[in-house]
Amino acid sequence: MRIIAISNQKGGVGKSTTAINLAAGLARCGKSVLLVDMDPQGNTSSGLGIETESKLTVADLLCDENVNYAHVKQCTYIKNLDIIPSDLSLAIADMKLSSMGAKEFRLKNKLNNVKKDFIIIDCPPNFGNLTINSFICAKEIILPVQLKYFALKGINSFIDTVHYINEKIGWVQQHKIEISGVLITLHDLRSNSAKEVNHHLESIFGKRLLKTVIPQNVKIDEAQKAGKSIFEYAPDSKGAEAYQNLVNEVLCLKV
């Protein structure tokens, strides 16, 4: 089983969109997939048309000892794809976690017996308890980035945080997470600055910089607003082609 966290400390880089469409694409390939929405904004959940009103969510899973995976899992309209949804209640759960014992291992322990080909975790855009839980659960990180200078400023901090979690927390359970892929999103290489940022990313990550790039494509945004993956909403679009390329590349990654 491969457990992949989709993470970037900055919002607006296509993180949730990537989580949705990578999970959907893997499911379309016949893989059994669990999508875990660990972002209090709940964009991954709403982006697949999932309702959370009067339903248990990942917040309950993390904070209630009596709630288990079976209580919070919802089926999506996509064959082979289940989801543990999120909403704003997760922000309160984040605060509650601060006073709990073994708070960093809550998600990992609750999902310990889940059997899937893939678990995809959409992380929040910060390095709090929720992201730490996600990193302790996952084995890989896919880091979506835009080709802008401010993206480079956060890269070293992100790498340092991954090392810190491995060295200070993960060792307790002999756990290590690594950045397996860096995904360029909202792609536009027309400017010289974008080309320069791309060159810097190549120098930092080498072969971990994925060949797939996600273009600026209106259909991708429309699909998420419609509560569908790009494959169902606009299967012939450039966005669908790009995310299928990502799925194929992830399946071939050596981890």
**Shortest CA distance to 102 belongs to which of 72, 132, 66?**
132
pLDDT in tens, 242-252: 999 999 999 99
Query: Which of residues 51 and 189 earns the better pLDDT score?
Result: 51
- pLDDT (0 to 100) of residue 90: 95
Mean pLDDT of 28-56: 96
pLDDT in tens, 182-235: 999 976 666 677 888 888 899 999 999 999 999 988 999 999 999 999 999 999
Mean pLDDT of 40-46: 96
Tell whether the torsion through CA atoms of 92, 14, 49 and 31 is positive or negative.
negative
Residue type present at position 109: N
Instruction: Give the ranges where the chain is alpha helix by DSSP (H).
Output: 15-28, 43-46, 58-63, 69-72, 89-97, 106-110, 129-137, 149-168, 192-205, 218-225, 230-233, 238-252
pLDDT in tens, 168-190: 887 777 889 999 999 999 766 66
pLDDT in tens, 84-98: 999 999 999 999 998
Helix (H, G, I), strand (E, B) or coil at 99: coil
Q: What percent of the chain has pLDDT over 70?
A: 98
Question: Which domains does the chain carry?
Answer: 2-252 (3.40.50.300)
- pLDDT (0 to 100) of residue 3: 98
Q: At what angle do helices 89-97 and 129-137 cross, to 10 degrees?
A: 80
- pLDDT (0 to 100) of residue 85: 98
DSSP conformation class of 223: H
